[in-house]
Amino acid sequence: MFLRTILNTAHRMVYPFLSTFARGLGVDISTMSLLMTVRSLIGAFSPLFAPIADRRGRKFGMLLGTVIFTLGVGLVAIHPAIWTLAAALILAVLGKYIFDPAMQSYFGDRVPYAQRGTALAVTEVAWSMAFIVGVPAMGFLIAKFGWSAPFPVLTILGIFIFITVWRIVPREDPHHALTSDSRAGYRAVLTSVPAIAGISIAMWASAGNELVNVIFGVWLEDSFGLKIAALAGASAVIGISELSGEGLVAFTTDRLGKPLALTIGLICNALAALLLPFIGKTQTGALIGLFLFYITFEYIMVSHIPLMTEIVPGARATMLSMNVTGHSIGRALGAFLAAIIYQRFGFLFIALLAAVFNIAGLLALKRMQRR
């Protein structure tokens, strides 16, 4: 959880400081939105690396992901520029998308399905801790030293992740038999209707979330004139909401059953999206609305992961990497549409489309349950 907090901080700090990065680089919001779209699309290629953790072991996958992440953030630390930031966004997310399925498979191999929701919810606390601790810390560095200040710190922390995984994760793994046929894993996932339906849930839910992710910092700044410190504080509020969502998953998902918990999350997130523009007319109302939106989305995500770990257990890392593809395509779709819709139609239409995407995810879940 602690190590993933570092990875997630690098991933999430771009959202609240999108305008700050744009000003520091001398580019507009549309350019940054395009970079976010490209970053999201990179995750669509994660299945190319999925067999690594199945063939070479979970530890190897985690270490490889860490090396790629550290190389990416290190580029900006050495030479801050638009092209190094673009490379850092791509490499950091690629490293994260290699690390996460390997880590989730490591726990999936060891923790019984009946308790897996709780176990993975603990690791998912990293999402909220990134916003509660990581992003405010990066905001402090940005305010004091400039937009590129977080990247040298993240480079050092990336080296720390590598050393920690190398020392803690055992080299010999009796819980996982290495596979030799990568194509069999792909076939098992791509020919499974429940697997495809589950991947589409990830796609639709992430598309709706990314619409708000990309725009919320710009929306708060446009509506209330919030500056860097205040945006970091808003990120902490979102982090607290996500921590609450992860706590709810830990206490309820294994008891309710993963599909029912996921249904509740999708419905509540759609309602929270619809509520957001109406209660967001004041700064306090906007923060309450974001709290509700992110707590329900986190409930979706953390209920979804343990469900996906058991759909194709013979190719668990491949399945989880394909699930990342669903998230990535959804985030790319949301990032691509966010700036266009916000600039032309305003935040109300962002919220409406986010609700529609959640309804599409609910229909995909019903399809999964029928099969």
For residue 199, give both structure tokens. 């991947």
Residues in the chain, overall count? 371
Burial class (CB in 10 A: 0-12, 13-18, 19+), 102: buried
Q: Tens place of pLDDT for every residue, the chain, 371 residues? A: 999 999 999 988 887 788 888 888 888 877 887 888 788 777 667 667 766 767 777 888 899 999 999 999 999 999 998 899 999 988 998 898 889 888 888 888 888 877 877 888 888 888 888 888 898 899 899 988 999 999 999 999 999 999 999 999 887 766 555 555 567 777 888 888 999 999 999 999 999 998 988 887 777 777 777 666 666 666 677 777 777 777 777 777 778 888 898 999 999 999 999 998 888 788 788 888 888 898 898 889 878 888 888 888 777 777 887 888 888 889 888 988 888 888 888 888 999 999 999 999 999 999 888 86
Domains, the chain: 2-370 (1.20.1250.20)
Q: CB neighbours of 77 closer than 8 A, spacing ≥ 6?
A: 148, 151, 152, 154, 155
Percentage helix, strand, coil, to 5, in the chain? 85, 0, 15
What 3-state class would DSSP assign to 152? Answer: helix
C-alpha 57/C-alpha 176 separation (Å) is 8
Model-level pTM?
Answer: 0.71
